[in-house]
Structure 1
Amino acid sequence: MTRERMVDARLHLLSRQVLDVDGEPVRAVDDLELIGPDGQAARAGAEVRVGAILVGPVLFVRLFGGAVPVSRQPRIAWEDVGHVGTAIELTVPSDRLDADWVEHWLRDHVVGRIPGGRHDPEGDG
């Protein structure tokens, strides 16, 4: 049985830290994907529910303009949320999420090209 709860998105969700099932930080909530009760796109004036948490590169978009393609917006399905409290607690480990694709891309295409950029400062060498 699914228990639904009404929350104020600005107060209870936006900018909250997201933790995976092991308590490891994933990201902070940047935005929400809202959907209608039938699972279709949300319509103005109609009932909506949260379909996913968006944890994308909002800062880059604000600084450089443009828009992130919908297919590349890092999202965490609402079904993976286990508890909403002072943090958003997930029921899955972070390695099963695609929320860090921006960091991986920057690591591989920008930082990794800088001399010494592939050196692990906490590693053995």
Structure 2
Amino acid sequence: SYSVETVSYFLEEYGDDPALYFILGQDAFQEIEKWKDWEKLLLLCNFVVMTRPGYEVKSLGELLPHDFASQFKYDKDTDGFKGPAGHSIFFREVTFLDISSTDIRERVRGGKSIRYIVPEPVCDYISEHLLYRDI
């Protein structure tokens, strides 16, 4: 399904308390205008964009069309851009590790360990639910 549909489903099922956070990488966020109903999606929940060291966003207008980005105002208390519906877009720096979701899926499919690539509960969940395996 599309991300906007998945987020809408979770909000319908569980509401907005606790708050829903959509976490994605910088590269994916830079392509978000290609996503289905991306404007609606960005207004539905909080977004956390994981960035590479040294990456700084001074204005959302650098990344999104100005008319849309202008709806968001920088909030120094949260270090995020707060939107009209009360949700924010946060940019958070993470240490770069050369790991991708594709690599994780391929390792699982190939029977290789992912124990030191993902947190233990994630590894256990993938194993218990037989995710990413060709059955």
Per the normalisation by structure 1, the TM-score is: 0.23
More strand by share: 1
State the TM-score, normalized to the length of structure 2.
Answer: 0.22
More helix by share: 2
